[in-house]
Every structure is written in structure tokens, then in C-alpha cells.
Amino acid sequence: MTQMTGARMVVEALKEQGVDTVFGYPGGAVLPIYDEIFQQNEIRHILVRHEQGAVHAAEGYARSTGKPGVVLVTSGPGATNAVTGLTDALMDSIPIVCLTGQVPTFMIGSDAFQEADTVGITRPCTKMNWLVKETDTLSGTIHEAFHIATSGRPGPVLIDIPKDVQFATGAYSNKPKVSKSHYQPRVKGDPEIITALVEAMETAERPIFYTGGGVINSGPAANQLLRELVEATGFPITSTLMGLGSYPANGDKWLGMLGMHGLYEANLAMHGCDLMINIGARFDDRITGRIADFSPNSRKAHIDIDPSSINKVIHADFPIVGDVGHVLEDLLRIWKSRGRKTNSAAVKQWWAQIEEWKKTRCLDYKPSEATIKPQYALERLEALTKNHDRYICTEVGQHQMWAAQFLGFNDPNRWMTSGGLGTMGYGTPASIGVQIAHPGALVINVAGEASWLMNMQEMGTAVQYRLPVKQFILNNERLGMVRQWQELLHGERYSHSWSEALPDFVKLAEAFGAKGIMVSDPKDLDDAIMEMLNYDGPVIFDCLVEKHENCFPMIPSGKAHNEMLLGEAETQGAIQAGGAVLV
């Protein structure tokens, strides 16, 4: 075993794990590691402007590549600033390895400068965390951390490294060829239950696939198998926000996103189906609406690598614990070996019903020649960028839902959004992480002005590393989703849901050294978008949109899938007291 300092070990272990990029911010307790980073060229360090940005950038990197994202921050405030990002990654199952500096072991517990109980604070927001007290165990812990972050249901892990452990010399252990960790989640599904599901698929009259982020996390093979399964069976497919792109939006079995702001046909198909096949989704409350009335007449299959997801919210008739890729492979093989049967006559009728629902044209909106409708802005963005090698990030709010509705994703790993935690300020740093991983691609952050301001300091990072990220801000001078809920739920009392002192985004862009574009007239929109696309550098695109547009369709809180609101006319008294207490 080679002897080296703890700081050196960190760099060596990261290299051995195949890490090429670290997002971080230096400080007193990580200086030895930064000194090692300075003396090598294999790992690129991206200096962010705030530790929350480091984690979101690493999430963008991870979600767009399938590789774990790595974060390096200092003790105390460095670690506490990372907490939101770690929680976000935990909720959305993103593999992150976060390294934090800590005060030296002999000062722990003394309220030292920049000391915080990092493992205590981050215990609930990581999949696993460690405080390393001996240099000899450091490299082994880092290898174990990568194993845990990336296997089973992925998630963030954190290693807290006191400064004296970084300086001290110890024995480096190499990455084990086969993980010796006792943490080895089951990937193969139970063949009996898979066979039972195949039998149900053969006779189902109104089947539907309901897929989620688990398909994307499972990897490219799982996405291929899903496409093969959908095409071979001819069953309709809908997806959660996190799962967009695993089945192509231009595929003819695609119903669009489901859920609170999902498409009418997708939600009604979920409500009316007789066999629901949940693949890597978790029956989130944005999806189910009122539990008691969730898809009342269906048998439900649930494929999930996390056993605790199954039967957590919705009872599964076919509970299948396993990796989506492995389970789909077995499912397809068994279905084929039994003669590729479906109840095609009934499924054809089912499709006829779905086509009826599609005629509602639930995404239609009232066009305007005077103001840019946010939906129109996204339609034009889609039209002008869909043939690019394109990655989309979002912030959180109305713009996020419109982006999910109006932009089409034909491939996985192209859509980075904060689903579970709903973190405003996610998109800007995430777009930076994506652009770092895909230097030649078009990376757009669809944002609202309020969310965007939450991590706008990261424009400095974009300019420093010459990252041509496009910040596409739908500016309604409102916290649009909050405003929408206040209109529907709180008697149009718009308590603190607008900003009176927004910056001039064009000047702001110039102050950062980026390009600013402002557009307010629908006639100028296409030219402005083209100007944004043609500029080789970061752009802040300030798109002034209709201020009071609401996002529809909408399943109000506490309602079922078949109680959707489709437009303004239906909103009066739509949400009752029972729904108002929900979020």
C-alpha cells in the first residue's frame, strides 16, 4: 500500500473513480485538498459562486451524463450552504459525492471557527455520510461512497474530512475490483410476479405505462427496453416530470406528462385504466391527487429498486423490487416467450377513447398579438431549437410546468429539473454543470425571473469558464405559481407574490460580461431567439410575458384525476377547504 497524505488520497481516489470534474469552492478547512488539485491536471475544478450552486451544477452534470457528480466545499457555512442541493439530490435520486472540509479532529466539539456538525446536519439529507477520523480509512471510505451513491436507488453521499486528516500520512487503498460493501441492492425482479404481470398484460383491456425517473437512472439500456416494450405491446405511455425523455415525445404511444399539470388525456387514461404499470416512479402526491380516488378500477404493478417505495402510498398488486433495466429485460423475454399476446381488440378501443380525450386540446391557450404568452414563447423556443443537440434545465414554478408541456424530449438525460424538492434556483447552476459535461451542446435554462434571481451569482461561473448557457427567462414580474394559487385559493389576495424592484436583465448580463437580450413584442420573438442561439457565449434572455397567465390543465389539491381544471372558466370555487390545506 502506498503511503500518502489524506489530501493526496482524495485526489487519487477521485481519479481512480474516473472523476474528471469537481464543482467546488475553497475555504480554510479544505486548503490541503485544493493544494493537491492545483498540482495536477487530470481533474478539472469548476469554481462556483455559492456552495448551493456547486451541488446543483454537479446534479446537472450527473443527470445529463449518468455519472456521479462530485462536490468539494469547506467546513461550516460551506457545508450548510450545500444542504439544499443535497436534499434536492436525495428527493430526485441523483448520485452526488460531496466532500466537505472539517475543523481538525482535536478541535471538533469546541465551537471552532467555521465548525458545524456536518454529518449531523446532513444525515437526513444524504443517503449515507461519514466523518473520517483516520487517514488510513479515507480512501476506502471514498470508494465506498461512490459505490453507495451510484448503486441501488442513487442519491447523495457526504464525506466530512477534518483538516488534520488531510495533512496526515496514511496508507492508500485502491478501488476494490468487486465491492466488498454489504450494501448490494437487489437488481433482479421476482420472476413469478413478473410472469403474473405478463399474464395481466395479455388480457388487459385498458393498460397504461406510467414511467418515472427510475427508467432514466437505470441507464440507456433500460430506455431502449422501455421503447421496445411500448412499441411491441402498443400500450399508451405517460411519464412523470422526472421521467420525460425515456420514451420519445414524438413517439405515437406518447400521451404526454401526467399529474397536477399533466395532460388531460394522460390523467384520464390513468383514472380509467384497468392495468397500470408503474416503471420507476413513486406515486408522488403531484401524480396521484386524492389517494382515495386514484385510478379506482385498475390493478397496479410497481417496478422500483427501492422496496420502501412500494406500497408506501398506493397498494401494488404486482410489487416488483428490482432495477428497471433488469426487470424490463425479463418482462420482455417472458412476454415474447408466451407468444407476444395482447388483447388487441380491447386495446384498440382504449386508444379510440384516448383519441377522444385528445380532442379536448388541453394545452390550447388564448393567443395574443399584443403580449407574449409564455406558452407561445416556449412553442417558438421548441420550434427553433428542436433540431439542436439540446439540453433543457428549468427553475421551479409555472415556467417549469409549461416547459414540460410544450417542449418535446426524445432522449433521456436531456431534461434537468428539480422535481421532488422543487428548488427555485436550481436551473442556472444545473445548466452550468450540463454545459461543462457537454461543451458543444445547446444548453438552455428555462426560468422565471424570481427563481432565476435565487442563484444568479452563477452567471459569474458561466462567464469565467466561457460556458454559452442560455438563460431563457419568462419574466412576468410575479411569482407566477404562487400568484396562481392565491387567485384560486386565497380570494385573489396576492400577498407578496410580485417583485417591485427587478433588475434590468440586459444591464445585469452586461455587468457579468454576458449578453443580454430583452423582448416584449411577439413579432420580435423569433429574431430574438435566433440572436440568442447565434451568440457564442452566455446569454440572459429577458422575455417579458403576460403577467397573469395561469398554468392549465390543473388538478386542484385534494381532487382526483378526473376533476381537472382546463381553463379560467372552471376555476371559481374549484378548491375547497379540504384541498386548501394541501400543498
Query: By the criterion CB under 8 A, which residues form the site for other proteins?
Result: 119-120, 123-124, 127-129, 131, 148, 152-153, 182-183, 192-193, 196-197, 306-308, 310-312, 315, 317-319
| Cell digits of residue 526 | 423569433
Cα gap 497→495, rounded to integer Å: 6
**Least gap, CB of 228 to other proteins (angstroms):** 24
Q: Which is nearer to other proteins, 311 or 576 (CB)?
A: 311
**Least gap, CB of 320 to other proteins (angstroms):** 10
Cα gap 558→550, rounded to integer Å: 19
Q: Which is nearer to other proteins, 192 or 492 (CB)?
A: 192
Cα gap 262→239, rounded to integer Å: 9
Q: Which is nearer to other proteins, 196 or 442 (CB)?
A: 196
376-404 burial code (b ≥16 CB/10 A, e <16): bbbbbbbeebeeeebbbbbbbbbbbbbbb
**Least gap, CB of 182 to other proteins (angstroms):** 7
Q: Which contiguous run of DSSP H or E holds residue 98?
A: strand 96-102
**Least gap, CB of 183 to other proteins (angstroms):** 5
**Least gap, CB of 115 to other proteins (angstroms):** 17
| Cell digits of residue 302 | 410497481
Which residue has cell 397567465? 549
Please report how many Cα atoms fall inside a 13 Å half-sphere around the Cα of residue 565, on the Cβ side. Answer: 21
Other beta carbons within 10 Å of 361: 9
**Least gap, CB of 416 to other proteins (angstroms):** 25
**Least gap, CB of 150 to other proteins (angstroms):** 13
**Least gap, CB of 239 to other proteins (angstroms):** 24
DSSP reduced 3-state for 80? helix
β-bridge pairing 169-172 and 69-73: unpaired
Spatial contact of 285 and 574, defined as CB atoms under 8 Å apart: no
| Cell digits of residue 64 | 445529463
- CA nearest to 331, candidates 196, 208, 152, 151: 196
DSSP states of 469-516 as a string? -EEEEEE-SB-HHHHHHHHHHSTT--TT-B-S----HHHHHHHHTSEE
* CA geometry: angle 274, 276, 280, nearest 5 deg: 180
Burial of 371 (0-12, 13-18, 19+ CB in 10 A): middle
**Least gap, CB of 144 to other proteins (angstroms):** 9
Distance linking the first and last C-alpha atoms of the chain: 54
Spatial contact of 380 and 526, defined as CB atoms under 8 Å apart: yes
Q: Which is nearer to other proteins, 181 or 250 (CB)?
A: 181
Q: Which is nearer to other proteins, 108 or 363 (CB)?
A: 108
Q: Which is nearer to other proteins, 185 or 537 (CB)?
A: 185
Cα gap 466→568, rounded to integer Å: 43
**Least gap, CB of 315 to other proteins (angstroms):** 5
Cα gap 386→206, rounded to integer Å: 32
Cα gap 72→143, rounded to integer Å: 16
Cα gap 514→459, rounded to integer Å: 8
Q: Number of H helices and number of E strands within the chain?
A: 23, 20
Q: Which is nearer to other proteins, 212 or 319 (CB)?
A: 319
Phi first, then psi: give them for residue 187, nearest 5 degrees: -110, -25
Cα gap 267→563, rounded to integer Å: 10
**Least gap, CB of 46 to other proteins (angstroms):** 28
Q: Which contiguous run of DSSP H or E holds residue 54?
A: helix 51-65
Catalytic residues: 51, 113-114, 163, 481
Q: Which is nearer to other proteins, 124 or 251 (CB)?
A: 124
Q: Which is nearer to other proteins, 118 or 239 (CB)?
A: 118
| Cell digits of residue 171 | 496508507
Spatial contact of 385 and 444, defined as CB atoms under 8 Å apart: yes
Cα gap 351→244, rounded to integer Å: 21
- CA nearest to 405, candidates 434, 449, 452, 373: 373
